[in-house]
Amino acid sequence: MEPQKNNSGKQGEKTSLKPNYYIVQFKRDRTDNFIDRNHLPLERGDYVLVQAERGRDLGCIKIQITGDMMGQSKHKYPLEILHKAKPVELEQLILNRQMEKEAFDTCQNFINFRGLDMKLVDVEMQFDRNKITFYFTAEHRVDFRELVKDLAATYRTRIELRQIGVRDETKKLGGLGPCGLELCCTKWLKDFNTITTQYARDQDLAVNPGKLSGLCGRLFCCLDYEQSFYEEVRNRFPVPEETIEIDGDPIVVLKVDVLSEKVTIRHTNADTIETITLKEFQCKYRKCHKEWLEKWLPRD
């Protein structure tokens, strides 16, 4: 009689495996963090059925993340990935998308009937149809309580009306930027930072909102990408339009070029203009040992 094999070690190894974590993307840009306790063979682009906070939803695997990133989730308990989507579930998702278009038209008719000053942007139906979310923009506060009643009576499910900003509207609708590429907010940008015209001044750009605004009418998000670089290197340059007197020779800083590291100055007495490198500027005036020059000198 053959001795029985001891599989307890393998079972112990299986149960000790840590779960996997993923970012799952739903319609357009909505994403959330999910945990996979079953170690499913998931890849980017796979559709999965998930257990959301209220009901079930169907989304697409965007990227695998670490446990630390999962811990940054806003939910009290981790949301679960149940299984890879089945063909019948994918068919229902397509049907839901068609119903969303019909719900958009229905909601727009109710908005017109009620005379509400709001712009309907998008409609998203949860996979199990237990919730329909209507996204809209508005200049002022809108009393949409009667609209919610109209929609709830029509669809017999939970209705949510969510007001979004113009940047979120563009993020949902998508498009191409002046660079010819897909909008950053649609493709990958998750959060919006505050951007001001001071960013353009710091980056030596003409402060023309018409030329610095995206499809949303707000300043380009890409102004934010290099702002930290300009804030850091600016400390190494003199301030434009500042007057400096070196050994009786008044010098006016006309402009600085951060990218090429050049400084344009005008010698007031000789009324001459020259452009020198930042290194030349630092070395030429270092012998003066002026306190106000310390911020321009290289750090040892």
Q: Are residues 68 and 132 in the same domain?
A: no
209: containing domain: 169-225
The pTM for the full model equals: 0.67
**192: Cβ–Cβ under 8 A, 6 or more apart, which residues?**
167, 168, 185, 221
**pLDDT one-digit tens code per residue, 150-181:** 999 999 999 999 998 888 888 877 888 888 88
Residue 11: per-residue pLDDT: 47
Do the Cβ atoms of 163 and 138 come closer than 8 Å?
yes
* pLDDT at residue 280 greater than cutoff 60: yes
Provide mean pLDDT across the span 271-287: 77
Q: Are residues 273 and 286 in the same domain?
A: yes
Residue 94: per-residue pLDDT: 94
Tokens of 167: 């940047």
The DSSP-derived string for 23-65 is EEE-STT-EEEEEETT-----TT-EEEEE-SSSEEEEEEEEEE
Boundary of a domain, candidates 85, 103, 126 = 85
Do the Cβ atoms of 177 and 183 come closer than 8 Å?
yes
At 135, which CATH number?
A: 3.30.300
Q: Assign 16 a pLDDT band (cuts: 50, 70, 90).
A: low
Q: Are residues 155 and 173 in the same domain?
A: no
Provide mean pLDDT across the span 31-52: 92
**pLDDT one-digit tens code per residue, 113-133:** 999 999 999 999 999 999 999
The answer to whether position 4 is within a domain reads: no
Nearest to 235 by CA among 274, 282, 273: 282
Indicate the number of domains in the chain. 4
Residue 32: per-residue pLDDT: 87
The phi and psi torsions of 152 (rounded to 5 degrees) equal -65, -40
DSSP 182: B
Provide mean pLDDT across the span 265-292: 73
